């Protein structure tokens, strides 16, 4: 049943143009010029274009390709191959831009509808499922233009569309602001970590001269405070690689097995893990692979260098009992009077450690290493007291980022729930002088 004053429509009823780009744009690629919007610039969970990976083309706007594929403010873009149904909304003052054959362009009759509302509607979970079901190419994902024109819509009156778009835009602005704060905080923390772990920034009472350590090229270490030690990691930390439990040993109950995929964004995630080993084996032959609270664990296989920071975490009491498995390593301190486990975490996130691993496994964009590689790695060690100060400072920075991440998660969840209500008419808005959803 339709909400009061709402009506059924098809995309073709409200569009003035539904088309796609030309096939060969490689001939137009350039270092600068007009924007070239591809599927990678469209979002799966929003309507705003992602500009970080933007390409550019040099094309005449009055040419056949230019006329057919040029964009205007308010246009809606839909991915029609591979990842079907990703949506993009072309903002105002976007400038000259073009698309290729993998993207459909929908230009709306703005006397009938609000383009931003339609973009939100098409990006909603319900509509995304409908669009994916329209796949006309069997096993190979693809949408043709007649199919896109036939997409069914359920629309409120134009003033209500405009108000809903305004409300959702406000939420998007808060989300974007929070994402920017997170990005800035992460960059500041990265810079602070680099300074603290190389002695470029020190706390009061820990000042010293700098020198280059014998046996290390300047390009590997650079200048370090003279009161800092450079030593092999194995002299201060114990580490162990997971055993690689075989598939035939897996059970549905017992003790959960821990692998690299269980470390997500610096957190242990085992709530959905279904892979177990029997208690008899866990407390028998694999007893020495059972994790302990406070273990520092890392993923050490198939990890990109850029994402390695997110693959380091601590085992907490709620994760236990837990048995280590393939593609993971765990670390403990050998002497808790000289080495700090939290300091090791940040050191392994730094280029001082990653560069050492990278040099040992050249030729690969991913990190795949084990104890034999870590045996060859050195660690730069301030005094234990300074290690603690460095760790405490970076832990505070992490907590600030975590608080922002929690806020971002909340905003996205609330916006998603609001979209579901507003775009289906389950929650109506007042369109006179009201500014909030009724």
User: CA separation (Å) from 122 to 1, 78, 88, 397?
Assistant: 20, 9, 10, 38
Rounded to two decimals, the pTM is 0.84
User: CA separation (Å) from 168 to 76, 174, 175?
Assistant: 17, 10, 11
The pairing of strands 97-99 and 34-37 is parallel
Tokens for 159, please give them: 């003033």
Position 438 scores a pLDDT of: 44
In a domain, 218, yes or no: no
Position 217 scores a pLDDT of: 57
Q: Find the distance separating the first CA and the last CA of the chain, reported in whole Å.
A: 20
Domain residues for the domain of 100 are 7-155
Position 436 scores a pLDDT of: 45
In a domain, 1, yes or no: no
The rounded distance, in Å, linking the Cα atoms of 259 and 298 is: 9
Position 65 scores a pLDDT of: 73
The rounded distance, in Å, linking the Cα atoms of 221 and 8 is: 67
In a domain, 258, yes or no: yes
Position 52 scores a pLDDT of: 81
Position 437 scores a pLDDT of: 47
How high is the mean pLDDT in each 10-residue block of the chain (438 residues)?
91 92 78 87 89 83 77 92 87 88 91 96 87 65 85 95 96 96 96 94 87 71 87 95 92 94 92 92 96 96 85 96 94 94 96 86 73 93 96 97 96 95 92 55
| Shared domain check, 135 and 21 | yes
| Helices (H), ranges, 60-157 | 64-69, 115-123, 125-133, 145-149
| Shared domain check, 240 and 358 | yes
Question: How many independent structural domains does the chain possess?
Answer: 3
Question: Would you say 47 and 90 are in contact if contact means Cβ atoms under 8 Å apart?
Answer: no
Position 194 scores a pLDDT of: 92
In a domain, 57, yes or no: yes
| Shared domain check, 162 and 150 | no
Lookup result for tokens 């290493």: 369
| Shared domain check, 150 and 13 | yes
| Shared domain check, 401 and 376 | no
Render the burial of 357-370: b for 16+ CB within 10 Å, e for the rest.
bbeeeeeeeebebe
């Amino acid at each position: 049943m339709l909400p009061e004053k709402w009506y059924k429509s098809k995309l073709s009823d409200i569009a003035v143009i539904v088309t796609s780009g030309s096939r060969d744009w490689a001939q137009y690629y350039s270092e600068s010029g007009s924007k070239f919007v591809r599927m990678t610039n469209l979002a799966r969970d929003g309507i705003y274009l992602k500009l970080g990976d933007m390409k550019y083309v040099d094309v005449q706007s009055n040419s056949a390709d230019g006329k057919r594929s040029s964009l205007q403010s308010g246009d809606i873009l839909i991915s029609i191959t591979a990842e079907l149904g990703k949506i993009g909304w072309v903002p105002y003052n976007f400038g000259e831009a073009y698309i290729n054959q993998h993207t459909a362009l929908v230009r709306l009759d703005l006397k009938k509808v609000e383009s931003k509302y339609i973009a939100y509607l098409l990006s909603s979970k319900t509509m995304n499922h409908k669009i994916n079901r329209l796949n006309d190419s069997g096993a190979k994902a693809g949408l043709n233009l007649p199919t896109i024109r036939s997409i069914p819509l359920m629309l409120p009156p134009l003033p209500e569309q405009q108000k809903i778009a305004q409300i959702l835009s406000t939420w998007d602005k808060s989300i974007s602001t929070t994402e920017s704060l997170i990005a800035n905080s992460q960059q500041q923390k990265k810079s602070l970590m680099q300074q603290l772990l190389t002695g470029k920034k020190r706390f009061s009472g820990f000042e010293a001269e700098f020198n280059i350590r014998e046996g290390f090229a300047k390009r590997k270490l650079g200048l370090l405070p003279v009161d800092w030690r450079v030593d092999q990691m194995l002299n201060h930390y114990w580490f162990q690689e997971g055993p690689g439990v075989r598939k035939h040993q897996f059970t549905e109950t017992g003790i959960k097995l821990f692998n690299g995929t269980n470390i997500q964004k610096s957190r242990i995630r085992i709530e959905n893990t279904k892979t177990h080993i029997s208690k008899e084996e866990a407390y028998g032959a694999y007893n020495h692979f059972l994790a302990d609270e406070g273990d520092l664990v890392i993923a050490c296989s198939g990890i990109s260098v850029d994402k390695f920071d997110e693959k380091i975490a601590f085992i907490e009491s709620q994760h236990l009992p837990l048995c280590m498995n393939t593609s993971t390593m765990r670390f403990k301190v050998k002497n808790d009077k000289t080495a700090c486990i939290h300091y090791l975490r940040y050191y392994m996130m730094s280029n001082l450690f990653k560069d050492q691993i990278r040099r040992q496994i050249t030729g690969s964009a991913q990190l795949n290493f084990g104890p034999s590689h870590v045996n060859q790695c050195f660690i730069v060690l301030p005094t234990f007291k300074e290690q603690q100060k460095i760790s405490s400072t970076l832990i505070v920075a992490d907590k600030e980022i975590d608080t922002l991440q929690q806020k971002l998660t909340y905003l996205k969840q609330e916006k998603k729930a609001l979209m579901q209500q507003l775009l289906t008419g389950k929650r109506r808005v007042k369109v006179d002088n009201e500014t909030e959803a009724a």
